Amino acid sequence: MLTKIADLEDPDARELLGNVTVVSRLDAFLEEKNTPRLPRRGTFTASDLGSWDGNSFCGDYKVGCARKLWYRHRGEVEQRSNIAPTLRRRLDLGTAGHEMLDGYFEKIAEESGGSEEFVPEHQINPEDGTSEVAWEWGIIVRVDGVYSIHLSDPVHIRFCLEFKTETEQNFQKVLKKPKPEHVTQLMVGMACWDLPAGVLVYINLNSGAMVEHRVLFDQNHWNAVTEKMRYVRKYSINNIEPNREDGFHCKYCKYKWVCAPPSKKKRKVHTIRMPGGG
């Protein structure tokens, strides 16, 4: 027994501490989170749409790989992620940071005397009845917050807030402009909440520094997203697999196990073309 200070008198009890491992317990717990799961049939998510693994048909925007969107939309094969415990901890730290920031903004709004309103992180699901756009396209989307500020009577602005945590190295890359896939995610959020603007806030995980980018809703960008969703739905209904948009990003794909992208050492990123106005 090693439960009280007095137990330290017993040399055998002292040895018991050697059996205690905290990190490996946690690692095993976090490994379990990689359990395969079936996605919800007939849906898209903002994070899959706003992903670096694909492009819009016009080539101007980042919109997720059509094959990946198709797997999700069909809902027939499991998503198998392989996130190492170290990365999982980093991602969860990012999520915890977002909750902390949400708390700050809630407090700021509370103390504004009614001139500001902040609705912290919430999710829209197609069946909620809160968004016609989400219902029409089957979109599941979450934003970190919806902010409403009365600048002066009657000047009023509403926008969504999205936080992203980055390592020092990646933070340097977003100082001047946001990642294009994050702008697509924001565009999906704006379309579903009917918001004219959004702000992307990047947080440096190492230093706590922040940088913000303001984005206006862009109809052309949104059209590019809906064009790809329309294409995926058509292929889903007709049970035809879209071409892969394969590249180095496939390494991180939840559907790599079933898609089996070519394993050439140096793959080019392939962009699919919209077939005949499909």
* 48 contributes a contact to ligand SF4 by CB under 6 A: no
The DSSP H or E segment spanning 29 is helix 23-32
Two tokens, residue 33: 């989170």
* Distance in Å, CB of 229 to ligand SF4, minimum: 16
- Nearest distance from C-beta of residue 235 to ligand SF4, angstroms: 13
By CB under 6 A, what part of segment 196-255 binds ligand SF4? Answer: 244-246, 249-250, 253, 255
Which one, 77 or 197, has the nearer CB to ligand SF4? 77
In this complex, which beta carbon is closest to ligand SF4, that of residue 79 or of residue 125? 79
x/- string (CB under 6 A) for ligand SF4, residues 257-276?
--x-x---------------
What's the CA gap between 232 and 228, in Å, rounded?
6
Q: Would you say 69 or 192 has its CB closer to ligand SF4?
A: 69
First vs last C-alpha separation in the chain: 71
**Beta bridge partners of residue 120, listed in sequence order:** 145
Task: Provide the minimum distance between the beta carbon of 173 and ligand SF4 in the complex, in angstroms, as a whole number.
Answer: 21
Q: What angle do CA 52, 220, 43 make, to 5 degrees?
A: 55
Least Å distance, CB 182 to ligand SF4, is 18
C-beta of 141 vs 250, nearer to ligand SF4: 250
Contacts of 124 (CB under 8 A, 6+ apart): 130, 131, 134, 139, 140, 141, 142, 192, 193
d(CA 159, CA 76): 36
Residue 175 DSSP symbol: S
Query: For tokens 């035809």, what's the residue?
Result: 240
Q: Does 166 bind ligand SF4 (CB under 6 A)?
A: no
Integer Rg of the chain from CA: 23
Q: Which residue has the tokens 């196990």?
A: 257
Contact region with ligand SF4 (CB under 6 A), list: 63-71, 116-124, 129-137, 190-198? 63-71
Out of 46, 49, 63, 65, name the contact with ligand SF4 by CB under 6 A. Answer: 65
Q: Which one among 50, 55, 67, 198 touches ligand SF4, defined by CB under 6 A?
A: 67
Q: Are 5 and 48 in contact (CB under 8 A)?
A: no
Q: Return the structure tokens found at 227.
A: 């064009």
Taking CB under 6 A as the criterion, the residue among 158, 256, 267, 269 binding ligand SF4 is 256
Alpha-carbon distance 175 to 201, whole Å?
10
Piece of 28-36, 65-73, 114-122, 230-238 that binds ligand SF4 (CB under 6 A): 65-73
| Least separation in angstroms between CB 45 and ligand SF4 | 14
- CB-nearer residue toward ligand SF4: 213 or 249: 249
Strands 139-152 and 116-124: antiparallel
50, 181 Cβ separation under 8 angstroms:
yes
Binding site for ligand SF4 (CB under 6 A): 53, 65, 67-68, 244-246, 249-250, 253, 255-256, 259, 261
